[in-house]
Amino acid sequence: MVLNAEKKETKKTIYTPDLATITQVKELTPTEKQFTIELDDVHKRKEFSFEPGQFVELTVFGLGEAPFSIPSSPNNKENFELCVRKIGNVSNALHNMEPGAKVGIRGPYGKGYFPYEKMQGKNVVIVAGGIGMAPVRSLLKVILEDRSSYNDFTLIYGCIDPNNILYKQEIEELKKSNDIDIKLTVDNPDDQWDEHVGVCTNLIPDLDYSPEDTFIVVCGPPIMYKFVILELEDKSFKPENIFLSLERRMECGVGKCNHCHIGNKLVCVDGPVFSLWEIRNLKEAI
Amino acid sequence: MLYKILDKNHHKEFLSNLVANVKMVGPKKKDDSCHDFTSIKDVDEIDTAYQKTTIPPAKKILFPSTENLVRFRLGETIESEGLLESSETVLFGINAWDIAGMNFLDRFFSTDFADENYIAKRKALTVIGIDTEPTETNFAHYMDSEYVIEGFDLYFTDLGDRFFVRIATAKGNALLDRFAHIKDIEENDLKDFNKYMNVYRKKFKLEINMKNFLDNFENIYDKKGVWEELAEKCYSCGSCNLVCPTCFCFNVKDDINLDLKTGQKMREWDSCMIPEYGLVAGEHNFRPSKENRLKQRYRCKLITYKEKYGKNSCVGCGRCIEACLAKINIAEDINAIKKEVNV
């Protein structure tokens, strides 16, 4: 019996990031950049698959780690994109990085994602506010890439002002197609603005879909949820068909650090996407 | 469970053998009010007649306040690798409620995403339990934690002239075989053990009422006034978290060494009671007020794991009551919540 052994091993654990390279950087708005990221290990790149709504933990080595949802299409197997607002330590550092720079990636994480399989044959409405566009863009891509499997498709997207609109060019292109009905709204319009003004909540009463056949997806700043939900319930949309992506502080992404807990749920593991039915009676979720 | 007897006159010999042959951590007197679990080099350093320890012994070993998780080297390419550290250790003298706390951490860290940093240390730990006298703030009896049936390798119960030894693992059995003169139990040993437990349970004087607590808690959750009153004195210092045997919240940080080439990803204990706990980039705080944070702590200790695991994460050790600078008392608050709802 050996009872004195000090042991040090190195091993890949749940906290060990995989090395990845930033291959492209694109400015989306004055405060947001899109980073295209490719895992360095070819096998891991092939294994890396995610569902819309999932997120990764990104490490800037020596500085720290932060969670980011993946806005690109899961059908793209070569790389994935992140949309990063310059707002914290890690995101500030990322904004200074250029193609070729190395980062660490853990994930994808989150058992709760946007259940696009269930939405097939139904109407889908996405309600996004501000940076909340990033997590839902993956779902938007999935639906557009298999458009005939879904019924009517609407995007309601609200921002503070026209300069903050993410994926502006893409949205302009989409508006020309018949694949999706896009309603944009801003709080502070400029002279050229010819769309809606005000919060995106205002556009919900005009939705003309049968609650039985419609899925709603909501993502935006914390304050938005309460009001959007009230409007959706007013229209009798069913709580089990409403999906929300929640934000919380996350340190680990794997259900251990506990920062993102809401009662018996962990946003990183059980979410980040929950149905309204799951969380409507979970105190403090919304 | 296997039961054996160790005569008192062989006890010291057993401990001496252990100290001579293994790395042992055990209770040592620090001052008149407190003991601490520390590395034991000499058998006479061990003092099992302790009542209070500030930092829970198992958490101290298995989930240290800071811990390296990943090391990395920066350069042309970046290397990063997960780091597991462990040391074969015998933890001697931990009591039932602290074992119950460890059992909670065991379950938490080994399920869903398995935390190998914790598990490596846990696998290297041999646990020998003993009974200690409860303090006046202890309510382990009400949290089903005054007596444990798992988590330990050996558990010694003092029956006066002999120890009643419960052997839960082959590892524990091997330690006895190698280092102790033990004998088989007789009928009266089991009777005396039961008698002892009956007397022991009566030593837990602090009474709390957990009946219908889950529903009561839901009921008063939104009563702002109740929580403002309960949390009014809170300094948001986090002492309650530091001393809790089941608090496990941590932050993950990258730390770079002075050579600016090597560094580590590490974790350090965090506290759900401090204002920054729920703060995200962009300055939104999901837990902005102290009454919200206290409510959240009670929910985590008394509701969440009742729902998830069927057992509270609070073991009733009373450390948070002793540590609180503002004299917030979880036992009193449980009773106050019960009274408030009045069912």
Closest CA to A16 of A249, A247, A250, A254: A254
Q: Give me the pLDDT at residue B77, please.
A: 87
Q: What pLDDT does residue B343 have?
A: 62
pLDDT at B277: 95
Check CB contact of B248 with chain A, cutoff 8 Å. Answer: yes
Centre a 10 Å sphere on the Cβ of residue B105 and count the other Cβ atoms it contains. 23
**Which of A84, A108, A132 is the endpoint of a domain?**
A108
* Token pair 């990183």 in the structure block, residue: A268
Q: Is the peptide bond before A221 cis (omega within 30 degrees of 0)?
A: no
Flag whether A11 is in a domain: no
Q: Is residue A212 part of a domain?
A: yes
What's the CA angle centered on B108, arms B103 and B112, to 5 degrees?
A: 140
Instruction: Flag if B117 and A247 touch (Cβ within 8 Å).
Output: no
Tell me which chain B residues have a C-beta less than 8 angstroms from the C-beta of A86.
none
Residue A5: the pLDDT is 76
Give the pLDDT band of residue A4 (cuts 50, 70, 90). low
**Rounded distance, CA B295 to CA B86, Å?**
36
- Using CA atoms, how far apart are residues B254 and B267, in angstroms rounded to an integer? 9
pLDDT value at position A3? 53
Claim to verify: residue A263 and residue A129 sit in the same structural domain:
yes
Helix (H, G, I), strand (E, B) or coil at B163: strand
Domain's final residue, options A77, A108, A139: A108
Which position has the token pair 């091997």?
A: B174
Inter-chain contacts counted by CB atoms under 8 A, chains A and B: 174
The band of B206, judged by pLDDT with boundaries at 50, 70 and 90, is: very high
A128, A156 contact by CB (below 8 A): yes
- Cβ atoms within 10 Å, residue B174: 14
Tell me the mean pLDDT in the region A179-195.
96
Chain centroid to CA A205: 25
Question: A92 and A123 in one domain?
Answer: no
Taking Cα atoms as reference points, which of B40, B158, B150 lies closest to residue B99?
B150
pLDDT at B153 over 90: yes
Mutation target for A interface from B17, B22, B70: give the one with most A CBs within 10 A.
B70
Clarify whether residues A77 and A218 are in a common domain: no
Could you report the per-residue pLDDT of A226-283, keeping only the tens digit for each?
999 999 999 999 999 999 999 999 999 999 999 999 999 999 999 999 999 999 989 9
Contact with chain A for residue B80, Cβ under 8 A: yes
Task: Specify whether A95 is located in the same domain as A215.
Answer: no
Per-residue pLDDT tens over the stretch B267-317 = 999 999 999 999 998 889 999 999 999 999 999 999 999 999 999 999 999
Q: Are residues A271 and A156 in the same domain?
A: yes
Instruction: Using pLDDT thresholds of 50, 70 and 90, give the confidence band for residue B103.
Output: very high
Question: Residue with structure tokens 């993102």?
Answer: A260
Q: Domain range holding A78?
A: 18-108
B69 in contact with chain A, both atoms CB, cutoff 8 A = yes
Same-domain check for residues A93 and A128: no
Compare all CA atoms of chain A with the CA of B260 and give the residue at the minimum distance. A62
Question: Residue written as tokens 């508006």?
Answer: A175
**Distance (Å, whole) CA A149 – CA B26:** 65
Query: CB A258 to CB B272 under 8 A?
Result: yes
Burial per residue of B230-256, b for 16 or more beta-carbon CB atoms within 10 angstroms, e otherwise: bbeebebebbbbbbbbbbbbbbbbbee
How far apart are alpha carbons B208 and B143 in whole angstroms?
10
- Does A10 fall in a domain? no
A132 and A269, same domain (yes or no): yes
Residue A1 has pLDDT above 60, yes or no: no
C-alpha distances in angstroms, B204 versus B51, B136, B143, B164?
13, 8, 11, 21
Q: Scanning every residue of chain A, which has its alpha carbon at the shortest distance from the alpha carbon of B257?
A: A62
B215 touches chain A (CB under 8 A): no
* Residue of A64, A88, A247 lying closest to B253 (CB–CB): A64
Smallest CA-to-CA distance from B176 within B17, B43, B37 is with B17
Question: In this complex, which of A13, A247, A263 lies closest to B82 when CB atoms are compared?
Answer: A13
How many angstroms separate the CA of residue B193 from the nearest CA in chain A?
31
Within this chain, do residues A228 and A99 fall inside the same structural domain, yes or no? Answer: no
Residue B119 touches chain A, beta carbons under 8 Å: no
- Other CB atoms closer than 10 Å to residue A180's CB: what's the count? 19
Distance from CA of A164 to the nearest CA of B (A): 15
**From the centroid of its chain, how far is CA B31?**
21
Q: Which residue has the tokens 């009193």?
A: B332
CA dist B136 → A54, B97, B173, B205, B321 (Å)? 48, 15, 35, 7, 10
Residues of B in contact with A94 (CB under 8 A): none
- The B residues from 172 to 191 touching A (CB cutoff 8 Å) are 174-175, 178
List strands edge to edge, sheet with B2-7. Answer: B35-40, B24-29, B89-94, B125-130, B154-158, B162-167, B2-7, B182-184
- The CATH number linked to A31 is 2.40.30.10
The fraction of chain B above a pLDDT of 90, given in percent, is: 94
Tens digit of pLDDT for each residue in A5-61? 788 999 999 999 999 999 999 999 999 999 999 999 999 999 999 999 999 999 999
Q: What is the DSSP letter of A201?
A: G
What is the pLDDT confidence band of residue B32, given thresholds at 50, 70 and 90? confident
Residue B208 is which amino acid?
A: I
CA distance A181 to A174: 9
Closest to B249 (Cα-Cα) out of B272, B223, B283, B279: B272
- In a domain, residue A233? The reply is yes
B121 to chain A: nearest residue by CA? Answer: A7
Check if the beta carbon of residue B30 is closer than 8 Å to that of residue B38.
Answer: no
Q: Determine the distance in angstroms separating the CA of A265 from the nearest CA of chain B, rounded to an integer.
A: 9
CA distance B304 to B311: 9
Q: Among partner residues B248, B251, B254, which is closest to A59 by beta-carbon distance?
A: B254
- List, for residues A94-145, the tens digit of each pLDDT value: 999 999 999 999 999 999 999 999 999 999 999 999 999 999 999 999 999 9
**A76, A108, A140 - which closes a domain:** A108
- Please tell me the distance from the alpha carbon of residue B318 to that of residue B135, in angstroms, as a whole number: 8
Query: Model-level pTM?
Result: 0.95
In a domain, A7, yes or no: no
Distance from CA of A112 to the nearest CA of B (A): 14
For chain B, what are the domain ranges? 2-201, 213-341
3-state secondary structure of A34: strand
Contact A225, A251 (CB under 8 A): no
User: From the centroid of its chain, how far is CA B286?
Assistant: 28
Asked whether residue A158 falls in the same domain as residue A233, the answer is yes
Strand partners, A81: A36
Cβ–Cβ below 8 Å for B272 and A88: no
* Tally of domains within chain A: 2
Does one domain contain both A39 and A98? yes
Tell me the nearest-neighbour CA distance from A147 into chain B, angstroms: 35
| Same domain, residue pair A103 and A124 | no
Task: For B251, name the nearest residue in chain A, comparing CA atoms only.
Answer: A251
Residue B306's identity, in one-letter code, is K
**Chain B from 283 to 322: CB within 8 A of any A CB:** 284, 286, 292, 296, 299-300, 303-305, 307-308
What's A221's domain CATH number?
A: 3.40.50.80
- Tell me whether B116 touches chain A (CB under 8 Å): yes
Q: A173 in helix, strand or coil?
A: helix
pLDDT confidence of residue B241: 97
Beta carbons within 10 angstroms of residue A43's beta carbon: 8
Please give the mean pLDDT across all residues of chain B: 95
Amino acid at B232: E
Distance CA(A217)–CA(A205), nearest Å, equals: 16
Q: Which two tokens stand for residue B228?
A: 């403002």
Query: What gap in Å lies between CA A85 and CA A34, rounded to an integer?
Result: 9
Nearest to A248 by CA among B292, B286, B271: B286
